[in-house]
């Protein structure tokens, strides 16, 4: 049995899976977490960067005309966190750290993707600056796909790609941040 945290921070991919319904795994979990958030039993934070990653076609698939309509309908469920200049600086520092493929140290290195680094740095800001100490980062990103930056370092298994002897303070902060898929307690 997994326990759902009281304070969650959602990566854009959680919103996108909910809206596109693809793949179908975890959709019931996501809906239950949203229901709990609407009833104020949990809080779901997100970086406003997600507003650029949730494309209009994803919204239309779920019957929303615009991003404004989506968040107006769910305003009790989701709490936006704006990245600050320090968050952007931290995101750049996270992207600058070389990873090591845990399966093959000679394989090409992967850097942390730009949006991923901003989401993680914003979540750390929520935890460390805003004082939401029990926050859990929800994502499906385990580095399997490619984007415009190529294959990026995974978020779920992040600490495997950054051995302890290579970690900067910020990388260690990400490693200490609970990261998991948005599973609802069964």
| pLDDT given for residue 146 in this prediction | 66
Q: Residue 92: which pLDDT band, with cuts at 50, 70 and 90?
A: very high
CATH of the domain at 44: 3.40.50.1010
The mean pLDDT value for 77-90 works out to 96
Does 1 fall in a domain? no
Is residue 89 one of the residues assigned to a domain? yes
Q: How many CB atoms within 10 Å of residue 24?
A: 8
Residue 186 in domain? no
* CA–CA gap between residue 133 and residue 40 (Å, rounded): 18
Mean of the pLDDT values across residues 90-105? Answer: 87
Planar angle of CA 40, 121, 41, nearest 5 degrees? 10
Predicted local confidence at residue 85, as pLDDT: 98
What does the pLDDT look like over 20-41, one tens digit per residue? 999 999 999 999 999 999 999 9
Is 18 domain-assigned?
A: yes
User: Would 169 be classed as within a structural domain?
Assistant: yes
For residue 109, tell me if it sits in a domain: yes
pLDDT in tens, 132-162: 999 999 999 987 766 656 678 899 999 998 8
Strands (E), the chain: 7-10, 43-47, 78-81, 136-138, 179-180
Confirm whether 2 is domain-assigned. no
Distances in whole angstroms, Cα of residue 66 to Cα of each of 17, 31, 37, 71, 186: 17, 20, 21, 9, 33
Instruction: Print the domain residue range for 88.
Output: 7-180
- % of residues, the chain, pLDDT over 90: 66
Q: What is the pLDDT of residue 110?
A: 82
Whether the per-residue pLDDT at 1 is higher than 70: the answer is: no
In a domain, 134, yes or no: yes
Total number of domains in the chain: 1
Q: Is the predicted pLDDT of residue 2 greater than 60, yes or no?
A: no
Q: Which of 145, 124, 143 is nearest to 135 (CA)?
A: 124
């Amino acid at each position: 049995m997994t326990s759902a945290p009281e304070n969650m921070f959602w990566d854009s991919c959680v919103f996108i899976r909910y809206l596109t319904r693809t793949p179908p795994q975890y959709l019931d979990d996501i809906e239950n977490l949203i229901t709990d958030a609407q009833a104020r039993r949990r809080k779901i934070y997100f970086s406003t960067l997600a507003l650029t990653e949730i494309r209009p076609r994803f919204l239309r698939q779920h019957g929303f005309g615009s991003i404004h309509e989506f968040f107006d309908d769910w305003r009790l469920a989701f709490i936006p966190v704006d990245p600050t200049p320090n968050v952007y600086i931290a995101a750049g520092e996270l992207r600058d750290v070389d990873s090591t493929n845990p399966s093959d140290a000679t394989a090409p290195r992967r850097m942390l993707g730009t949006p991923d680094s901003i989401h993680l740095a914003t979540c750390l800001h929520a935890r460390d600056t805003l004082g939401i100490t029990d926050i859990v980062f929800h994502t499906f990103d385990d580095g399997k796909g490619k984007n415009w930056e190529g294959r990026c370092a995974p978020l779920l298994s992040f600490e495997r790609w950054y051995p302890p002897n290579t970690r900067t303070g910020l990388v260690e902060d990400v490693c200490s941040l609970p990261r998991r898929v948005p599973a609802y307690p069964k």
